[in-house]
Amino acid sequence: MRPITLATLLLSVLLVTPPFAAEPLPSVTAASAENKAEVLEQKAASNSPASATAPLTRSEVQAVDPAGAAAVDDAITCLSRTIYWEAKGEGSADMEGVANVVLNRVGHDGFPDTVCGVVKQGVERKTCQFSWWCDGRADQVQEETRYTVAKEIARKALNQQLKDRTAGALYFHDRKVHPDWARQYLKTAETEKFLFYRPRNGKAK
């Protein structure tokens, strides 16, 4: 009887041992993050503190939509893409201000109860509240570094860990434009790029 060589033994082990079929960790983390974000946006909609809910971690948020090309249908992606497209070339104050407005709208009278609902509001009438969503251009991310920053700001906003630098604003516009609607509202804050407003009587229009 010939001795069993190491190569033969190794081959037999490989043949009888099933390969690992576990789902890649990033996908599991992304699903967990999306579920957490859904709970957190419900807290925001009901004006409940998020402290009793497990917060989103940096690794979880960065695992969602890593290539910036996924469907925009979860709270993290909707908020991150909005921050990115509205203020990706600007400073952190501008990006945080956009996040503040989205979260301030969630659950407020006149606005949907979810982040994606807020971001996509008006699309059926082609009067989007956030122009990037229905401008007819591709929504895929072009600058990975800036998107990483946007996602981190989105994480803090959903965790209710982001200071509201807009003082409760529900609207904003670029300094370069002068929309007529701005006269109806109370200006609450300014950043280098944007001016922020809220209704004088607390009701959205």
Q: Mind listing the pLDDT tens digit for each residue in 34-56?
A: 999 999 999 999 999 998 888 99
Taking the CA atoms of the chain, what radius of gyration do you get in angstroms? 22
Q: HSE, CB side, 13 Å, CA atoms: give it for residue 197.
A: 22
Q: How far apart are CA 162 and CA 185, in angstroms?
A: 24
What is the widest separation between alpha-carbon atoms in the chain?
96
Q: How far apart are CA 36 and CA 175, in angstroms?
A: 35
Q: HSE, CB side, 13 Å, CA atoms: give it for residue 202.
A: 1
- pLDDT, one tens digit per residue, over 156-202 is 999 999 999 999 999 999 999 999 999 999 999 999 999 999 998 76
In this structure, which amino acid lies at residue 142? Answer: Q
- pLDDT, one tens digit per residue, over 12-22 is 433 444 443 44
Report the Cα 118 to chain-centroid distance in Å.
12
The CATH class given to the 23-163 domain equals mainly alpha
Q: What is the pTM of this model?
A: 0.83
Query: Under the phi-then-psi rule, with left for phi > 0, alpha for psi from -120 to 50, and beta for the rest, what region is 160?
Result: left
Structure tokens at 165: 């630098």
Give CA separation, 166 vs 5, 16, 194, in Å. Answer: 72, 62, 10
- pLDDT, one tens digit per residue, over 124-167 is 666 788 888 887 777 789 899 999 999 999 999 999 999 999 99
Report strand pairing: 185-190 vs 194-199: antiparallel
Task: List the end-to-end C-alpha distance of the chain, in Å, as a whole number.
Answer: 89
